[in-house]
Structure 1
Amino acid sequence: MTIYNLGSINADLVYRVPHLPGPGETLASTSHSRGLGGKGANMSVAAARAGSHVAHIGAVGADGAWAVERLLEYGVDTRGIAVVGVPTGHAVIAVDDAGENLILLCAGANMSVGEADIALALKDAGPQDTFLFQNETNAGPFAAQQASALGLRVAHVAAPFDAAAVAQVLPLLDLLVLNEVEAAQLVAATGVALPDLPVRDIVVTLGAEGCRWHDTDTGTTREFAALPVTPVDTTGAGDTFTGYLLAGLDRGMPMAQAIGLAQRAAAIMVTRHGAADVIPDMKDVAESRFA
């Protein structure tokens, strides 16, 4: 079974700061680093480190060979990544001493994924596979339609949030993952409560409060408390959660068990500085201990 992920690939430019800057504030950073990032790349690495076969679909510029090589090193199938005539996407990330972050995105090549490349990447996919996409690339609706027609489980992470974009793909989705703010915005935009949306499973991440799962088939909602950790950097935690969640489902875990696995991985992630390069593997998760 394969998780096909149409997702962004970014160079993460990370600056450590004493506090997140306010409007008009000039702030000196205490350190700087470059790493692999992008919601798509993070999720691909997380799912691969959780033991799934992951095929990434995306685009980089001529300056992005290092990012593709890094994904390959982490066990991701990179044959679906095209090289286009636009610079690789990047993110400027400020992380404060409490572990909170501020992120500025430049999409770059992430908005130049070709429909023909997507169709080619999915040509061998079938009902045993999963298709994942976010809102950091172009062609999401096209790819979701292709995947749905092929019988794949279609999962969407509604970030960065765009109510119209999410509403467009709702009828194609089997799984929707979004945070509490995005969930409220979606309800306000559609006028429909989450349990009444045409999506079988909806997972709402609640940060330090854990997460909530709406099973719309049964009409039930279940709360999952967060694991007790002291965060140092929340960058990539939600992406790690989603990658592990889909990997668990790909392995045949029930949703509740897959959520538990994902929470353990995300809890480890917030204790580390960085994004894709520090996502925990299954050994880390298996050996983790929480009070």
Structure 2
Amino acid sequence: MKVLNFGSLNVDYVYTVDHMVQGGETLNTSKMDIFLGGKGFNQSAALAKAGAAVYHAGQIGDDGLNFLEACQEYGIHSDYIRKCIGKSGHTIIQVDKKGQNCILLYGGSNRTITEEFVNEVLSNFEEGDFLILQNEINLLPYIIDVAYKKGMVIVLNPSPMDDNLLSCDLSKVSYFLLNEIEGAQITGETDLAKIPEKLLDLYPDAKIVLTLGHNGSVYVDKCQTIPQGIYKVETVDTTAAGDTFTGYFISEIISGKSISYALEIAAKASAITVTRKGAAPSIPYRNEVENTNFF
């Protein structure tokens, strides 16, 4: 079994602010950092740091060569990362004094994926292999359709939510990993307690992990419901927390661990991530997660 993450690679420009900038406001920032990120790359980093052998597929521009060095550092297979003309994707991230963030996303090279490139990459994978997807690249409906025909296990983090997702056949997704906002957007349900049930009504064959912020997370499928609490830490930056959760959870599932254990170690890893600034660099390695005592 192989694991492919077909996803974004973004250069993150992170600004430390007192509060999120308002319309018409000019705001001084106390600090600016540049990190490698993108939901796709962050999740590949989390998978690799958790111990999974993951292949990343995606595109970088002239300014994205540092991603190849980071792949080597983290243990991500970069065989299917292609360099194209133009700029890489990038984000502008505000992080306030409470560690909360807001993000502007520019697609860049992430939005220039071709069907030929998709076919080339997926030709190297087969039935039973895992495919991790997010919504920061183009051709998501096409990638899902081709992977489904091959019998791959499709894992989707439907973020960011937009019309691109509405054109996807989400019944082909095996695992959904999403937060309460995305869950509400897909289901139209505003009652947090009812979102998991509504998701399962829509996709009865799927396995669903819904993260609920301070309320932890919950796993649901047609046979069981498993809640997971959080580990309380001092939050510095929430960037990549959800990506860390996704990577660690899927890594444990791939290795045959129980759902309960996968939720627990994903929660621990995410708790460590939010105590640090940045995206991929903030994600802990497995030995740190296993050896950290939160009590």
The amino acid of 1:106's aligned partner reads Y
Structure 1, residues 245-266: CA drift from partner, whole Å, max 9, x if none?
Answer: 1111111112222111111110
* Residues 163 and 186, structure 1, Cα contact 8 Å, conserved in 2: no
Higher alpha-carbon deviation: 47-56 or 24-33: 24-33
Instruction: Specify the alignment match of 2:65 in structure 1.
Output: 65
The aligned counterpart of 1:211 is 217
Partner of 1:224: 228
Q: Gaps spanning 5+ residues in structure 2: where?
A: 190-194
Task: Provide the TM-score with structure 1 as the length reference.
Answer: 0.94
> CA separation in 2, counterparts of 1:160 and 1:240?
16
Q: CA deviation at 1:203?
A: 0.9
For the pair 1:260 / 2:237, whether they are aligned, the reply is no
Do 2:140 and 2:164's aligned partners in 1 also have CA atoms closer than 8 Å? no
Q: Which residue is equivalent to 1:196?
A: 201
Q: How does 1:242-261 map to 2 (within 5 A)?
A: 242-261=246-265
Question: Is residue 26 of structure 2 the alignment partner of residue 19 of structure 1?
Answer: no
Give 1:72 deviation, angstroms.
2.6
Separation of aligned partners in 1, 2:77 and 2:282: 19
Q: Distance in 1 between matches of 2:124 and 2:278?
A: 34
For these two proteins, the number of residue pairs brought into alignment is: 288
Cα offset for 1:84?
1.5
Among the aligned pairs, what percent are the same residue? Answer: 37
CA separation in 1, counterparts of 2:167 and 2:3?
Answer: 23
Alignment check: 8 A CA contact 1:187 1:194 kept:
yes
Q: Which residue of 2 aligns with 1:48?
A: 48
- For 1:147 and 1:280, how far apart are their aligned partners in 2? 30
2:169 is the alignment partner of 1:130: no
Residue 122 of structure 1 and its aligned partner are, at CA, apart by 2.1
Q: Does 1:289 align with 2:293?
A: yes
Tell me the residue number matched to 2:192. Answer: none
- Structure 2: which amino acid aligns with 1:147? A
* TM-score relative to the length of structure 2: 0.93
Supply the AA of the counterpart residue of 1:61: G
SS of the aligned residue for 1:168 comes to: coil
Aligned residue in 2 for 1:86: 86
CA–CA distance in structure 2, aligned partners of residues 2 and 267 of structure 1: 28
Deviation at 1:128, TM superposition (A): 3.7
Deviation of 1:222 after TM superposition, in Å, equals 2.5
The Cα of 1:162 is off from its aligned counterpart by 2.5
